[in-house]
């Protein structure tokens, strides 16, 4: 049995589907007991509930955990997740991490993934940190579909960045659960690279209209993010992440690398079709 958190989201859902396709039983860890799960086994717990998570992880061969960015609740969730791993005795934990999680600070919300990695290592369980680059799906979270403007929070729209499809990220997590390593490790995901201008061009082609690429100057980042409806704390976190990207400090430095193969156009075509 494998416990999977975030199963109603893209990465957790993809991990669960890959496990089920391999014939492995899955226990969905969900906040809402009515959440559908094809495997049938459901444990109800919030990510800040140490006792509930411990119950969910107990008796499992491995667990997949992730840390949503909330702009405030991360320390509580880190303590609960790591505490539950220690309490349950689950032998292997795969966590969704990020390129740049080797750095303790200066990376915006990625610093919380660094702290979760460290907290999990302290439990004594084997830990596989799946360090992903940006998700391809973020192209649809820019507001460009509605506004016709593709905003770029960087000095240039022409710097190539690796972008992974969440289906590939989830599949990598599932493979790590099914074949646990002999010792803890960090796995860097390699993925196709695109400039933000290329992303806008691909998205525009699929929409059938040209998108205007607008580079937002750094002093305007916070205002643009809060103006789009983000809470100030979360906007500050994202601005710090964009700054880390802009400075080029988010680099792969794990123990091994896994290649993600899904191309951006395939991902966006599928999302738009839904």
Residues counted in the chain: 274
Residue whose tokens read 């989830």: 170
Residue whose tokens read 């599928």: 270
Residue whose tokens read 């007991």: 33
Residue 39 has a pLDDT of: 63
Three-state DSSP at 219 gives helix
Residue 36 has a pLDDT of: 60
Whole-structure pTM value: 0.93
Give the chain's largest Cα–Cα span. 54
Q: What is the pLDDT of residues 190-247, one digit of tens each?
A: 999 999 999 999 999 999 999 999 999 999 999 989 988 889 988 999 999 999 999 9
Alpha-carbon Rg for the chain in angstroms: 19
Half-sphere exposure of 151 (CA within 13 A, CB side): 16
User: Hey, what CATH topology would domain 2-273 get?
Assistant: Rossmann fold (3.40.50)
Residues 6+ apart with CB under 8 A from 219: none
Determine contact, residues 93/119, Cβ cutoff 8 Å.
no
What distance in Å separates the CA atoms of residue 187 and residue 164, rounded to the nearest whole number?
A: 14
């Amino acid at each position: 049995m494998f416990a999977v958190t975030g199963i109603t989201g893209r990465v957790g859902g993809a991990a669960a589907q890959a496990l089920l396709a391999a014939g492995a039983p899955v226990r969905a860890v969900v906040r809402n007991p009515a959440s559908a799960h094809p495997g049938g086994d459901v444990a109800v717990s919030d990510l800040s509930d140490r006792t509930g998570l411990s119950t969910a992880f107990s008796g499992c061969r491995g667990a997949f955990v992730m840390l949503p960015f909330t702009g405030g609740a991360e320390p509580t969730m880190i303590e609960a997740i790591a505490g539950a791993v220690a309490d349950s005795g689950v032998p292997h934990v795969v966590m969704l991490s990020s390129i740049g999680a080797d750095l303790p600070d200066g990376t915006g919300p990625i610093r919380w993934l660094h702290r979760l990695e460290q907290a999990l290592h302290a439990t004594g369980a084997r830990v596989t940190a799946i360090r992903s680059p940006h998700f391809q799906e973020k192209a649809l979270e820019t507001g460009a579909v509605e506004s016709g403007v593709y905003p770029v929070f960087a000095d240039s729209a022409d710097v190539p960045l690796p972008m992974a499809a969440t289906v590939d990220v989830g599949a990598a997590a599932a493979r790590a659960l099914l074949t646990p390593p002999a010792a803890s490790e960090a796995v860097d995901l390699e993925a196709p690279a695109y400039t933000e201008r290329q992303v806008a061009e691909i998205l525009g082609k699929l929409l059938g209209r040209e998108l205007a690429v607008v580079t937002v100057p750094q002093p305007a980042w916070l205002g643009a993010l809060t103006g789009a409806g983000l809470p100030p704390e979360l906007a500050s976190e994202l601005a710090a992440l964009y700054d880390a990207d802009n400075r080029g400090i988010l680099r792969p430095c794990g123990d091994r690398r896994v290649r993600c193969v899904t191309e951006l156009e395939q991902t966006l075509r599928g999302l738009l079709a839904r």
